[in-house]
């Protein structure tokens, strides 16, 4: 089994010595650099580059600069997706966003995690767990979503939250760790 297959499966894998993963990261990071250094007013050029980075975008997708991801092909956007400045998606496995998702500035979605065992961690091993975001979700600024989290439809994640566990549909959740404070 390749390191890429292990990552998709959620097993421990080593991304640092696998030529395929290294080359894929360099390719997308070069494209992110190009995207981030394209004039904001050059919308068509920016969108052309973004289409080379991501699996799914359309005319309703807006990702403000700068934007950084690991691979791009593991990211799926629904219709009417908007991300403000400084979006980071560490997509070592799948990150899916539903329709009408709005993301404030300085947010991160991290599918990669590292072992608790120090020897495994020192050896470069990591794991990946998917992130799933439902429809009509709004993230305030400076939100971090950790590996394996699912966020239900119509929910709001308050600014500065660190989402460590699943959040149900139709709620407002805030804090570190992020907790439901109100049903909508």
Judge if the upstream peptide bond of residue 175 is cis by omega within 30 degrees of 0: no
Average pLDDT across the chain, whole number: 96
Instruction: Identify the CATH number of the domain in which residue 104 sits.
Output: 2.160.10.10
Residue-level pLDDT at 100: 98
Identify the active-site residue in 27, 114, 150, 179: 114
Residue-level pLDDT at 17: 84
171-174 and 112-113 strand pairing: unpaired
Closest CA to 71 of 148, 7, 164: 7
69 alpha-carbon distance from chain centroid: 7
H/E stretch holding 88: strand 87-90
Residue-level pLDDT at 55: 76
In the residue annotation, 85 being an active-site residue is answered as no
In tens, the pLDDT along 123-160 reads 999 999 999 999 999 999 999 999 999 999 999 999 99
Domain that holds residue 90: 3-183
Mean pLDDT check: name the lowest of 3-12, 139-148, 168-177: 3-12
CB 21 within 8 A of CB 93: no
Rounded mean pLDDT, 86-101: 97
Rounded mean pLDDT, 98-121: 96
Number of domains in the chain: 1
In the chain, pLDDT over 70 holds for what percent of residues? 100
In tens, the pLDDT along 21-73 reads 999 999 999 999 999 999 999 999 999 999 999 978 889 999 999 999 999 99
Residue-level pLDDT at 57: 85
> For 141, what's the count of Cα atoms within 13 Å in the CB-facing half-sphere?
5
């Amino acid at each position: 089994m390749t390191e890429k297959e292990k990552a998709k499966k959620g097993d421990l894998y080593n991304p640092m010595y696998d030529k395929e993963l290294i080359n894929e990261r360099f390719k997308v990071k070069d494209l992110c650099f190009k995207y981030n250094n394209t004039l904001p007013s050059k919308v068509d050029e920016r969108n052309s580059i973004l289409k080379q980075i991501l699996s799914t975008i359309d005319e309703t997708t807006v990702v403000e600069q700068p934007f950084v991801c690991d691979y791009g092909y593991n990211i799926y956007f629904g219709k009417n997706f908007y991300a403000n400045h400084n979006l980071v998606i560490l997509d070592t496995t799948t990150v899916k966003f539903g329709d009408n998702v709005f993301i404030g500035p300085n947010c991160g979605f991290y599918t990669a995690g590292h072992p608790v065992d120090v020897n495994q961690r020192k050896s470069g091993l990591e794991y990946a767990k998917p992130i799933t975001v439902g429809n009509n979700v709004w993230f305030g600024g400076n939100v971090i979503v950790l590996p394996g989290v699912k966020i239900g439809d119509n929910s709001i994640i308050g600014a500065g939250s660190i989402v460590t566990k699943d959040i149900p549909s139709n709620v407002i959740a805030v804090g570190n760790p992020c907790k439901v404070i109100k049903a909508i």
